[in-house]
Amino acid sequence: MDQLQLRAIEFRCIQEEQPFCTASCPIHVDVRAFMAGLAKGDLREARRVLDRTMPFPEIIGRICDQPCYSFCKRGEIGEPLATARLERFCVTNSTTVLKPPKLPAKGGTVAVVGSGLSGMTAALDLGRKGRQATLTTSVPGLGGSLRGYPETILPSETLQQAATLLAGYGVILQLATPVDREFIAALPAKYDAVYFDFDEIDATLLPFAVGRPDPLTLSLKHAGCFAGGGIPEGASVFSVIKQVEDGRRAALTIERYLQKVSLTAQREMEGACTTRMYTVTTGMPHLAQTIPADLAIGYTAAEARQEAGRCIHCECLECVKQCVYLREYKEYPKTLVRKVYNNQSIVQGTRNANKMINSCSLCGQCTTICPHDFPVADVCRTTRQEMVRGGQMPPSAHDFALEDMRFSLSSFCTLNRHQPGTASSRYVFYPGCQLAGSAPEAVKSTYQYLTGQLQGGVGLMLGCCGIPAHWAGEEKLFAETMEGFRAELERLGNPTVITACSSCLSIFQEFAGDVQISSLWQVLDTLELPVHPDLLPRQSLTIHDPCTARHQAGLQASVRSICNKLGLNIVENRFNGKLTDCCGYGGLMQYANPLLGAKAAVVKAARSEFDGLAYCAMCRDNLAASGKRVAHLLEYIFPVFEANEPLDRKNPGFSQRHENRARLQQDLLTTLWREPSAPEPEHKKIRILLTQEVLDQLNRRLILEEDVQKVIHQASRTGRHLINPDNNHRLACYKPVRVTYWVEYEPTDQGFVIYNGYSHRMLLPEEKP
């Protein structure tokens, strides 16, 4: 990712866009922060917000015509916020908190003719920028048409305060000075720039042809002359805040004019503008506007607090609200991608975001929710590829999952055969590695059923589609896996692949080229299904769609149709289909960040209080591990009669899944194809005895029972181990590949009792990398 790509991606996240009120305000007052201050009763904080943007808060706060009102999102769920009334409350009950600094004088003289609010604003802004401004008016006081407000609304002392403020910034005030054609005609020669406030000065008074002010810069045709204020052509009413906008716009133009730089470049965001902010109000409570008890006085402190408390603090965060990963890292996509970019820019030092990059489930829920399809998953996945290519991928992040994948692709687990007794296949059943690991009986039943139902031969392929390598950013390993799959498929005569796993389906559709792919569910939906009404649960179940089937509407519909045919009572939850969550397996989240993976499963499980029905083996097992009662759909189509209730089946855990895959291959080879399976390695003959507690510990530490067997086998073979004479326990270690495993055990007549297991990656002197 380079800077340009970063900016293009960042732009899609709109969390930092202006809220609707600020965007519609001609001077972009941070109304949201103003409301936040008032809502917590912090008047000084609210006043600070006004002081930061408003040139004369004492005046504007009393008479602002609040163009933001009709843009306020609160209007969708109650009336818009009474912003003007709250401004009035704020400025009548507070004094100046923040006084913007005056920059050092930098030359240039400006005449401001007319003392309306736009002239006052222009003079003030120029004074603050260090320009010498002279404000001239023929009347004895400031304000232009503001002087028409009754004393109760706008006390005359506020205009006197404004005069003091202007003088404080070095503005020369020439009050009660005749302004006629002769006076004006002399100005361009005496000053570097001149601003006419049309609120007070009639354009016909100008002795030279000026035309209408340019709307962007307020420049007149006469060089060095600018004008604004009053009621512009086309408008019917006098707008206070428009006066401020014109004065500010003119000051900025004059500043640029004096600096001899472009008057027009990059001024799109000045004045009221549109915003891409996206705020959903659905589900928020409807709240009516607070009406002051005494309309003449306005809000009391309590009323103001209540009214400001109605502000919904418009922001987007739609993805963050649903994504456990973004919440965990306290990021929204724009800040996340920036951290990813910075992480990749580090040449020497610690890459603190590695774990964050590896913790995304790559499920794409955020992208679906985002109004601009922000591609968090793409960013994380392609960054992982970059990390692998650059040799920066932490070895421990995905090692276990990739070893698991290698095992699924080893001679102990794979099987690629035509249907027994046939020499060609029209179809091939591909259950996927996790279904084989979780529910091997369901794989056998499904295969037998398909061979009985479909004509033309149904072959079987046991293996792994390679998605762990794809998720881990291991491009080479993934490409090799895909190549291996295609070669095997070709050897079987390119039959139509029927896969039970939506991850395999998504991978084959995207990467396997012109291979014919069907989902098992869509195939089953066309066949006569075995129905076992007595074995179905009576209660309603909620379906948990897997994240990799997010965009597979046809597949999702088939699953529901099958449930209907079976007679299962299904209730939908809101986070299904396109919006479905990941169970924690996706993107290898649960390996790179086990605690977050567990949280993801809890979140997915909690989307419905009903017992669950999954049709992805990993969803089934992870939801079960989170404590949810959940069954796999195949368990209701092909019930294992002697088995316990499918809803109560435990998460098999890593070791059992390994074992199940290897046994499934052995069983099928010997029973269906009458072929011998590969000889069992020696260490597998070691009988180990574990308590549930020790087994859970091994699972948490990603240590397989087979690793334990390898350690003991190695110790028995070499005699190298430690012994504790106090209790006769033994301690041995072995490094099969990259990880050194330690096991504390005791040989008994029944087998080896295992007490503990732990591992490390650091190499001891005798070990080779």
The burial class, CB within 10 Å (0-12 / 13-18 / 19+), for 767 is exposed
Select from 395-403, 585-593, 635-643, 679-687 the region that touches other proteins (CB under 8 A). 395-403
- Cβ atoms 102, 130 nearer than 8 A: yes
Asked whether position 390 contacts other proteins by CB under 8 A, the answer is no
Q: Choose between 623 and 733: whose C-beta lies nearer to other proteins.
A: 733
Cα separation values, 447 from 57, 453, 641, Å: 77, 10, 18
- Cβ atoms 464, 435 nearer than 8 A: no
Q: Which two tokens stand for residue 498?
A: 């029927």
The burial class, CB within 10 Å (0-12 / 13-18 / 19+), for 34 is buried
Q: Shortest approach of other proteins to residue 342 CB, angstroms?
A: 14
According to CB under 8 A, which one of 396, 453, 496, 518 is a site residue for other proteins? 396
Look at residues 615, 612, 643 and name the one whose alpha carbon lies nearest to residue 628: 612
Task: Measure the CA dihedral 535/537/543/549, to 10°.
Answer: -10
Q: Choose between 109 and 756: whose C-beta lies nearer to other proteins.
A: 756
Asked whether position 769 contacts other proteins by CB under 8 A, the answer is yes
Q: Shortest approach of other proteins to residue 755 CB, angstroms?
A: 11
According to CB under 8 A, which one of 41, 394, 420, 594 is a site residue for other proteins? 394
Q: Read off the amino acid at residue 637.
A: I
According to CB under 8 A, which one of 105, 724, 747, 748 is a site residue for other proteins? 724
Q: Which residues contact 648 (CB under 8 A, 6 or more apart)?
A: 629
Asked whether position 759 contacts other proteins by CB under 8 A, the answer is yes
Q: Shortest approach of other proteins to residue 284 CB, angstroms?
A: 41
Q: Shortest approach of other proteins to residue 495 CB, angstroms?
A: 43
Asked whether position 762 contacts other proteins by CB under 8 A, the answer is yes
Asked whether position 595 contacts other proteins by CB under 8 A, the answer is no
Q: Which residues contact 595 (CB under 8 A, 6 or more apart)?
A: none
> What is the β-pairing status of strands 752-760 and 740-747?
antiparallel
Asked whether position 755 contacts other proteins by CB under 8 A, the answer is no
Taking the C-alpha atoms of residue 714 and residue 717, their distance in angstroms, rounded to an integer, is 5
Q: Which two tokens stand for residue 462?
A: 């046991």
Taking the C-alpha atoms of residue 46 and residue 54, their distance in angstroms, rounded to an integer, is 12
Asked whether position 725 contacts other proteins by CB under 8 A, the answer is yes
- For other proteins, the binding residues in 402-421 under the rule CB under 8 A are none
Q: Shortest approach of other proteins to residue 605 CB, angstroms?
A: 29
Asked whether position 287 contacts other proteins by CB under 8 A, the answer is no
Asked whether position 756 contacts other proteins by CB under 8 A, the answer is yes
Asked whether position 423 contacts other proteins by CB under 8 A, the answer is no
Asked whether position 740 contacts other proteins by CB under 8 A, the answer is yes
Select from 5-13, 25-33, 214-222, 759-767 the region that touches other proteins (CB under 8 A). 759-767
Select from 13-21, 81-89, 505-513, 725-733 the region that touches other proteins (CB under 8 A). 725-733
CA 97 to chain centre: 37
> What is the β-pairing status of strands 541-544 and 496-499?
unpaired
Q: Shortest approach of other proteins to residue 768 CB, angstroms?
A: 10
According to CB under 8 A, which one of 354, 365, 499, 506 is a site residue for other proteins? 354
Q: Choose between 2 and 766: whose C-beta lies nearer to other proteins.
A: 766
Q: Read off the amino acid at residue 200.
A: E
Q: Which residues contact 402 (CB under 8 A, 6 or more apart)?
A: 468, 469, 472, 474, 477
Q: Which residues contact 540 (CB under 8 A, 6 or more apart)?
A: 569, 570, 571, 610, 611
How many residues contact other proteins, by CB under 8 A?
A: 35
Asked whether position 761 contacts other proteins by CB under 8 A, the answer is yes
Select from 269-277, 523-531, 540-548, 715-723 the region that touches other proteins (CB under 8 A). 715-723
Q: Choose between 422 and 759: whose C-beta lies nearer to other proteins.
A: 759
Taking the C-alpha atoms of residue 533 and residue 450, their distance in angstroms, rounded to an integer, is 21
Q: Which two tokens stand for residue 697?
A: 């510990």
Residues contributing to the site for other proteins (CB under 8 A): 349-352, 354-355, 394-397, 701, 719-726, 730-731, 733, 740, 742, 756, 758-766, 769
